[in-house]
Every structure is written in structure tokens, then in C-alpha cells.
Structure 1
Amino acid sequence: RHDGAREFATNSLKAFYEDQGIEQQTTVPYAHQANDTAERAIRTIVTIGRSMLHHAKLDKCFWGEAAMSAIYVKNRLPSPKIEHKTPFEIVYKSKPGVKHIRVFGCRTYILTPKEKRLKWDPKARAGLFLGYEEVSKAYRLYDIEAGQVVISRDVTFDESSLVSQRRAQVMTTMILVWTSPPSRSAMLTLRA
């Protein structure tokens, strides 16, 4: 059921509905109460995602990562509406593994492959855990030094430590440390 918006009327989506035996139903535009099941699911994901961002003390710019991580975890939790099975179980006909579930926003150490580092370079870079890759057994991580999201499975987690976005910015800021005499200065990078 949808409100007839254009994103639901594409040929590929229509073909998907037909292949899956899904009957489309439209509601009146802007009448959210007519689609209460979907609206409630969205509210749940927003609530979980907001809580995850707040707990990790991350900026709202990570809302999409928090929402995707919330969906990933929620799909692996039993629901009374489907006989205490997980949505994952319904789709894939097997119980999901959960040993890989991590604390959103926790500190990570992302391994730099040997081929991409010199002998005296650090073996890992500091990062933040953002979520899971659906198509591979890898994690979505924020590389603090590079300032970008990376995908890796070679990562160590420190779930007892959260790194806020503000702190992440401070850690990548160069600071000037004056030595004696002042004409000799050194640039130091704060390390995570």
C-alpha cells in the first residue's frame, strides 16, 4: 500500500510486484493514517536510529547510517506479529547469526593492508562503526583520518569506547606545538 507517489510507479517496481505476487493498493496522498502499518514501522526505525545517534553522540549527518543499522538489527530480532520469528528468518528460511552485531558508533581500528602501507606506517587507522554491508560480510566504518565511509571486514572493535563526531574532528585537526626556541616548530597530528 502506498500513496501513489512516482517512486512507487516505476516499471521495474511494477515488474517486481508482479513477480512476487504483490497487489498494489494506493491511499489518499498525505493521509498517513491510511497506511498505519508502514508509518509505524518508519516511526520505530526513526526512534531506534535517533537513540543510536544520541548514545554514540554522533552528529545528525550520520542519520542515514543509523537508520540502516537500525533496520539491519531489527530484521534480526524476533517479532510477536510473525510467531516470534525474525523477518530475516521469514525471508531466508534460516535463523540469522548475530555474533557480528556491534555497538553503533564504537571506536574501531581499520587494518591497512600490507600492500598499502610502508614499513613504519601504522597497521591500522582509527574509525567509527556505522553499520553492516548487506551484500558481503563486511562493516561500514567512518575513517576518521580520511573523513569518509569505508567498507572493511578487517577491523578491530572497542565497544567500550565511543567517539563523537566532535571528537573525531578534533582528532584529525593539526595543532601547532612550539618548542624552544619558538622558531623551531613541529606539526603534530592528534591520534585517535
Structure 2
Amino acid sequence: MDTWGPYKVSTHDGHKYFLTIVDDFSRGTWTYLLKTKSNAFPVLKQFLALVERQFNSKVKIVRSDNAKELGSSLSNSDFFSSQGILHQTSCVATPQQNGIVERKHKHLLETCRALLFQSNLPLIYWGECLLTATHIINRLPSRILNFQTPYQILFSKPPNYHSFRNFGCLCYASTLSQHRSKLDPRAVKCVFIGYPFNQKGYKLLNLSTRTIFVSRDVKFHEDIFPFLTSSSHTPLFPSNNHIFFDISTSSIPGAVHSSYFRIRLSLHLLIIRLMITLLLF
């Protein structure tokens, strides 16, 4: 396990850190958003209780670096001792001794970054990208696991991919019938931002109110991403940039000479626009 942060931009609900826990056997990954590093150990205690209840198993060994928030302090060490848990720590400036979770951080951040680039969501939603990245990674086959998924090893059944949707895509969520009149809209315009924990639905961002909610009745448009800038959809050759040839005056030598320079000027302008477009890409 390990913590990451602080990030320069807080999430929409004030988180700047996250705690990553990786199961050494199944490579199952859990990520928890944190507002401060001091919240890490209480979250770890909750995770230990979760494992004991849901998987009927008790954690025997915990491995981390020498961070105080992860058990190196005296009070936290006393807790591990009282529970019979061995706390293994890496040597100073030796992150490779905690390599599994360090590599998992790299994998999580790369996937999170890809989701951000695809959706172009504001940075305050990086926490939702991270949680979605964790959800996806736990359901991807791994060579280390003989091309099984962490989900399959943990729950002894294959994951369900039918609920997967393009992160950041446009969607419409059905409004509740008891709160609408005959002439009110039947759906609200939203953006898909993830999968909620312990709920069979989709986590959505209302584009009008910027509030996050969970809904089951959703219509997706997975090829449309509302937060992408309009410049990214402009064609390479805009329709209003034409090269005009003055055919009616081409028989006049002076007119041919002036038309020649107009054509050259239009070509130069087109080349400049192409160069600017390529630089923007």
C-alpha cells in the first residue's frame, strides 16, 4: 500500500491525495481519495474490516514505505501488534522494495491521464478519472495472472463488461416522474464520469447544475464528448477558405497578372493556416 499526493488541483469535493492498496495474490486494487494524509490509517482500518467480512479472511502482512500515516508511528504500530499483523516497511530511498504498489501507481496514473485526455474533463474531476481507472484495471486480463482478471480471482467469476461506457461521453438521464409535470423535460443532459460503489447505476455529472448523481435509466451517446473544445472538431480545410480563379478576365493580360498574384497570396494564406492547425494538434 502507498499514498500519492498532494496534487496541485483539489477534486470537486476537496481531495488532494489517494491511498492505493494492492492484494499481492490477485493484484486486486483499491483506491481511496483522501483530503489529508492523516486520513490514510483510518481508511486502512476500514479496509481491514471489509476484507474480513466480505472475503472471510484476515490480513496477515501489510507492506508499505516508512510513511508515518501508514503505520510507522507508535500508535499505529501498536494497532498492528494488537491485531497480529506483520508490518513490513521498505528501506529508506528504496522504493523498489514496495515495487508492486509503485508500479500500480504508474498504471493508475497512465490510465487516469488517458481518460482525462479523451474526455477533456476539468481537472477538478481527476478523482473520478482515478476511480474509473481502478474499476477498469481490476477487470483487465493480466499476464502475471495467466491472463485472468483480478476481479475473477477475487470473486471466482468473470467480470461483466456490458455496463462499460466511454468515459466523459454525452448521456441523458431520465428524470423522476413524481417531480415533473406533463410539460417538463423527460431527461437531463449529463456526462458519464464513472461507476458508483455498491450501486447498480452510472455516476453522472449534470451539465446544467454541475452536480453528481447516480442513475440507472440512461441513454448514452458514446461518440460525443461535451467537454471537448470546438476547435478540435474544425475540419482541416475550412469550407470558407476557397481559391477563386477569375475566368471571365483571364483573356486580359493585366487581369491574368493580377489573378496570378491573388492565387499566390491565397496559397500562402492556406499554407499558413495549415501550419497553425498542425501546431495546434
Q: TM class by shorter-chain length?
A: 0.7 to 0.9
2:181 is the counterpart of 1:118: yes
Displacement of 1:99 after TM fit? 1.0
CA RMSD of superposed structures (Å): 2.5
**Which residue matches 2:89?**
26
Which of 39, 48, 57 is matched with 2:111 structurally? 48
Please report how far the alpha carbon of residue 42 of structure 1 lies from its aligned counterpart in structure 2 after TM superposition.
1.0
1:35 paired to 2:98: yes
Q: 2:265 aligns to what? A: none
Q: How does 1:1-192 map to 2 (within 5 A)?
A: 7-8=40-41, 12=46, 19-24=57-62, 25-28=88-91, 31-164=94-227
Q: Secondary structure at the match of 1:160?
A: coil
SS of residue paired to 1:162: coil
TM superposition score normalised by structure 1: 0.77
Report the TM-score when normalising by structure 2. Answer: 0.54
Deviation at residue 29 of structure 1 after TM alignment = 5.9
Cα distance change of structure 1 residues 83 and 8 upon mapping to structure 2, 3 Å threshold: farther
How far did 1:92 drift?
0.7
Offset of residue 8 of structure 1: 4.0
Classify 1:100/1:122 alpha carbon distance in 2 versus 1 (closer, same or farther; 3 Å).
same
Would you say the 8 A contact 2:48–2:59 is kept in 1?
no
Q: Residue by residue, what CA displacement relative to the aligned partner does 1:129-158 show, whole Å, maximum 9, x if unpaired?
A: 001113121110001112111111111100
In structure 2, list runs of 5 or more residues that go unmatched. 4-36, 63-87, 231-281
CA contact 1:2–1:8 (8 Å) conserved in 2: no
Letter in 2 for 1:76: R
Provide the identity percentage: 29
- Contact 1:49–1:70 (Cα < 8 Å) also in 2: yes
Alignment check: 8 A CA contact 1:58 1:164 kept: yes
Task: Report how far residue 2 of structure 1 moved.
Answer: 5.6
Quote the offset at 1:34 in angstroms: 2.6
State how far apart, in whole Å, the 2-side matches of 1:50 and 1:2 are: 19
Relative CO higher for 1 or 2, CA cutoff 8 Å, sep ≥ 6?
Answer: 1
Q: What SS does the corresponding residue of 1:161 show, helix, strand or coil?
A: coil
Bigger radius of gyration among the two:
2
SS class of match (2:136): helix
Cα distance in structure 2, aligned partners of 1:135 and 1:15: 16
Matched residue type, 2:115:
M
Q: Name the CA distance, whole Å, in 1 between partners of 2:115 and 2:45.
A: 36
Distance 2:2 2:225 in 1: 39
Assess if the C-alpha contact under 8 Å between 1:59 and 1:165 holds in 2: no
Q: SS at the partner of 2:144?
A: helix
- Report which of the two has the higher share of strand: 1
